[in-house]
Amino acid sequence: MPARRPLAALAVRSLRARLTVGLVILLALCCAAVGLATTTALEGFLVRRLDQQLSAVGNHFPASLDPARKLRGDGGGPDTRGQATGTFGACVLRGTVTQAAVVGDQTESQVSLTADDRRALVAVPGDGKGRTIHLSALREYRVIGVPGPAGDVLITGLPVEPVQDTVDRLRLVEAIVFGAALLLTGFAGAAWVRLSLRPLHRVAATASRVAQLPLAGGEVAMPPKVPDSDPRTEVGRVGDAFNRMLRHVEESLARRHASEERLRRFAADASHELRTPVASIRGHAELALRHPEPVPEKVRHSLDRVRCEAARMGELVDDLLLLARLDAGRPLADESVDLTRLVLDAMSDAQAAGPRHRWVLDLPEEPVVVRGDERRLQQVLTNLLANARTHTPAGTEVTVRLGVREGAGREVEFLVADDGPGVPQELRTEIFERFVRSGGDGRSRSTGGTGLGLAIAHAVALAHGGRVELTSRPGRTVFRVVLPRRRGEGPGDPEAAAV
């Protein structure tokens, strides 16, 4: 795994960088191909010119080295007239190199040949075709062998070094020119790719802004559309498709928000309208139960049930009205709330309502004070304790703890924990939704709950800028309410006395 890290660090991730690198690589390949072709062509041309020069020079110099020429009286020494400096001549007779010399600045000089040099010269046929051999004393030579008058092979050669120097000089020039071209192309290509991908960058920026929007609920203000671009290009088609998608999303969110608003208004209006008839039904039932004349037992029982259900329906109407107001964003009361006193009062009520549970209270030494709506925060505590009492069997231990969150000096928390059967896994993600009830493991609808208690606790916590967290497993369920603590709330704060 560690060996892959350098490769991962060098990996090009952005599209702009990949296009630029790809452009530079393609140009580098083209430059390499052009350089290889030109140097190869030039080298071949110069070698052919060297062969032509050898053919034009002829075999005068190696023929003048033949010792038999002196015996025949053809001359007194090697003939170097018209021979370029560095011209090599050799005579090969019956597989033996008899003479070998090279033309110097003033005269010819003998060449000391090694065994490998002699074998290379002997291998040169007398066909008049050029070939390159390596002589240890003279480096590389281009040589031509032709038949001599005495049955020997006369070899004439010219050095290849000028050809190599010319080719090397061309390679150096090409490397400099191509390197500069690649560098300029890299910068120009990066600028051109950046300009060409600007519409795609706008699409990505708009998509990032959309991804940061709270699309889960409420009215959402969509960002501006991607500016119109040429639909004939790929990037233009992407921008056009993205704009159409944004329109569809905006229309869907608008329809959803309108539907939610209609549902909230309906719940608020219906709850408001139901309060009067429910109160009237409950009042008439209580009035009938107080009638001085004897009432049949069955009638009394029915009236008592009407009164109880009317009271339960009144609580449901009040809960729906509260949720509708919280959804509408109506401001809550902003007052100093002593959470310690609220916990004590809620705990006392819970003990009276659930005497068969074991109640444990854990409070800090100093009072915990926050700013908020005292009535609503008390309702949160009451709902959580009622949830623990009604959805756990008798004998369950319920712990209520209040304190300041560790590592967060501006947050306070109170939690309600029980060692009951826990919340089923399939309900944990939607436990704070409205009208959600658990059907098993000790949490059933037979308890008479409306399924709004946890939804109200969640909504009130959000309205105070806090949150409600749930952790649950069999034998341990914890509802944790976290609330922000503004400056001046609580003991130890220098501004506490001013609140």
pLDDT at 132 over 70: yes
Q: pLDDT value at position 192?
A: 86
Residue 423 CA to residue 421 CA, distance in Å, equals 7
Question: What average pLDDT does this structure show over 140-153?
Answer: 85
Residue 320 CA to residue 312 CA, distance in Å, equals 13
Tell me how crowded residue 76 is: count the other CB atoms within 10 A of its CB: 9
Q: pLDDT value at position 183?
A: 92
E strand map for 1-148: 88-93, 96-103, 108-110, 130-135, 139-147
- pLDDT tens digits for 223-244? 777 776 667 777 778 878 888 8
Extents of the domains making up the chain? 15-57+162-196, 59-159, 214-330, 335-498
- The overall average pLDDT reported for the chain is 79
Selected from 3.40.50.970, 3.30.565.10, 3.30.300.30, 2.70.70.10, the CATH number assigned to the domain covering 335-498 reads: 3.30.565.10
Cβ contacts of 75-79, under 8 Å, gap ≥ 24: 78/107, 78/108
Residue 423 CA to residue 263 CA, distance in Å, equals 29
Q: Does domain 214-330 have CATH number 1.10.287?
A: yes
Tell me how crowded residue 397 is: count the other CB atoms within 10 A of its CB: 14
Residue 148 CA to residue 103 CA, distance in Å, equals 20
Burial 327-346 (b: 16+ CB within 10 A, else e): beeeebeeeebebbebbeeb
Q: Residue 169, SS3?
A: helix
**Residue 68 C-alpha from the chain's centroid:** 87
Q: pLDDT value at position 263?
A: 67
- pLDDT tens digits for 344-380? 998 998 899 889 999 999 888 888 888 888 988 998 8
- pLDDT tens digits for 370-423? 888 898 899 889 989 998 888 889 889 999 999 887 655 578 888 999 998 888
Residue scoring higher pLDDT (160 or 218)? 160
pLDDT at 497 over 70: no
Q: pLDDT value at position 145?
A: 87
Contact criterion met (CB below 8 Å) for 448 and 312: yes
- pLDDT tens digits for 92-116? 888 888 888 888 766 667 778 888 8
φ/ψ region of 276 (left if φ > 0, alpha if ψ in -120 to 50, else beta) reads: alpha
Name the nearest CA neighbour of 156 among 86, 244, 73.
86
One fold for both 214-330 and 335-498? Answer: no
Backbone dihedral angles phi then psi of residue 358, each to the nearest 5 degrees: -100, 120
Tokens of residue 386, six digits: 């009622």
Residue 402 CA to residue 367 CA, distance in Å, equals 10
